Amino acid sequence: MLEAIPNEDEIRDAVFGLNADSTPGPDGFGGSFYQSCWEIIKHELIEAIQQFFGGTDDVIIFTSGGKRSLELVMHQLQNYQKCSGQRININKSCFLVEPKASNNIIQRIKEVTGYKHSNFPITYLGCPLYVGVQRIAYYSEMISKLVKRTTGWQGKLLLIGGKATLIRHVLQSQPIYLLSALEPPKTVLLQLESYFANFFWGSVEGKNKYHWSFWDNMSFPKEEGGLGFRSIFDVSKSLTMKRW
């Protein structure tokens, strides 16, 4: 029972058991936000909890391509399986080498590990791993998730204030994890802000409504005439400084 994934009713009971007048926690949300936006965010909460219960088991190992090193790595992985009772899924495991690696090296790794050979780029823990110059296509998964989310919300009756709340607390928070690890090209950041703006102003019959103000102007604090949205460029820059 302790390992069972909570169902929707259990999650709903927990959310509506929160004090609606409580002070927002570290995530910036109070009980009233989750309760008033339940129909919109419930699927995201359930998905996140399911990932928490069934995920966090990915690992990446760096090693030389020498046969002895590979054999030692595989030996330790076998020891881990014996001690933990867990089993490594060979079908989901792979190895990567630098693009100019010879076929002999690739074949040697295949024989020792039994894993398949994959090529860069790959996605690891939600972030693209690549060699060389980064490309816009590496961030297509992040963009598509955001588009899917806003598309689902567009069909609901949302007032301007509700849209602004969702943008500030959900949409603009979604890329933070990736931005904390990587600095995407400017084109990707422009795409993100374009989707934020399109969602805010809305659409009619698949066509975006007129934007009565530039997104840059709306990204100023309220006391300076904006709507309090964060500039995704400023967020990316601050997280880059944090890495440094």
The tens digit of pLDDT for each residue in 113-160 reads 999 999 988 888 888 888 888 899 899 888 888 888 887 776 677 788
Residue 89, sorted as left (phi over 0), alpha (psi -120 to 50) or beta, turns out to be beta
The pLDDT of residue 27 is: 55
pLDDT at 57 over 80: no
Three-state DSSP class for 108?
A: helix
The pLDDT of residue 207 is: 86
pLDDT digits (tens, 9 = 90+) for 5-27: 778 888 888 888 878 776 655 55
Residue 18 carries which DSSP code? S
Three-state DSSP class for 69?
A: helix
pLDDT digits (tens, 9 = 90+) for 68-94: 999 999 999 999 999 888 888 888 899
pTM: 0.68
* Average pLDDT of span 88-104: 91
Strand partners, 122: 129
CA atoms within a 13 Å half-sphere pointing along the CA-CB vector of 62: 1
For the chain, the domains span 1-39, 67-119, 127-244
pLDDT at 235 over 60: yes
| Backbone dihedral angles phi then psi of residue 200, each to the nearest 5 degrees | -65, -45
The pLDDT of residue 161 is: 86
pLDDT digits (tens, 9 = 90+) for 30-47: 677 777 777 777 767 777
Please, are residues 143 and 188 in contact by the beta-carbon 8 Å criterion? Answer: yes
Three-state DSSP class for 137?
A: helix
Short-list 195, 184, 104, 95, CA closest to 145: 195
Which long-range contacts (C-beta less than 8 Å, at least 24 apart) are formed by 203-209?
Answer: 203/154
Place of tokens 């972030």: 127
Answer whether the bond into residue 121 is a cis peptide, omega within 30°. yes
Which tokens is 39 given? Answer: 């129909």
pLDDT at 54 over 60: no
Between residues 23 and 220, the one the model is more confident about = 220
| Highest averaged pLDDT of the listed ranges 108-117, 136-145, 194-203 | 108-117
